[in-house]
Amino acid sequence: MAFVPTPDHEDKLKQILNRYPNKMAACIPVLHLAQQQNGWVSDDVTAWVAETLDLSTAHVFGVATFYSLFNTEPVGQHQVWVCRTLSCALAGSDNILAHCEERLGVQAGHTSADGRVTLRTAECLASCGSGPMMQVDRDYHENLTREKVDVILDRLTGG
C-alpha cells in the first residue's frame, strides 16, 4: 500500500520544505517525518520521499541506510540504544547490554517477541561523563545499574 502522509504531516512537510534552499536538502527531515508516521522507512516511504523531493529512490535509500536513526525494517514500539563507546564500556556498558539481552530475550539488533522493544547499540550517544547510559526512544538514562535498567525495561514491557 502506498504511503500517504496524514494531514498533520502534510502541514509539517510544507514547513520543512520552506526551511531549506532546495528539496534535496530536506531529505533527512522528510525521512524523519515519514518514519515518525510509519514507524520505519519502508519501500513505500522511500518511493514517496523520492517523488516528493524529486530525487531517485536510490538516493533516498542511500540516505536512509547510511544513518542509524532510520529504521529500514519494522521495529518495536520502543527502541533502546545502549552506548558502547570507550567511556561507557569502561563504566560497564557491556554488562548493561548483556542484562538487556537477557531480560528482553533478544540479541542487540533484534526486537523482543512481543514487539515492544528493539534493542540496539550505539558507538556514542554523547553522554561520556555519565556512563554507562542508554537512550530509550528520545530519553537518556545515565549512570545505569542493573536495577535501574530493570525499572526502565519493566516500564517498557509492562513487566
45-75 tens-digit pLDDT: 999 999 999 999 999 999 999 998 899 999 9
Q: How confident is the model over 23-34, as pLDDT tens digits?
A: 999 999 999 999
Predicted confidence band of residue 158 (pLDDT cuts 50, 70, 90):
confident
* Domain of residue 53, residue span: 7-66
Provide the grid cell at 146.
542493573
Q: How confident is the model over 9-21, as pLDDT tens digits?
A: 999 999 999 999 9
* pLDDT score, position 120: 95
Q: How confident is the model over 64-111, as pLDDT tens digits?
A: 999 988 999 999 999 999 999 999 999 999 999 999 999 999 999 999
3-state secondary structure of 102: helix
pTM value? 0.79
* pLDDT score, position 134: 97
* pLDDT score, position 33: 97
CA-CA distance, 148 to 159, in Å (whole number)? 14
Domain for residue 73, yes or no?
A: no
- CATH code, 148: 3.40.30.10
Element (H, E) at 66: helix 57-66
Residue 88 and residue 146 share a domain = yes
Residue 88 and residue 38 share a domain = no
Sheet strands side by side (includes 134-136): 117-122, 78-83, 134-136, 139-141
Residue 88 and residue 140 share a domain = yes
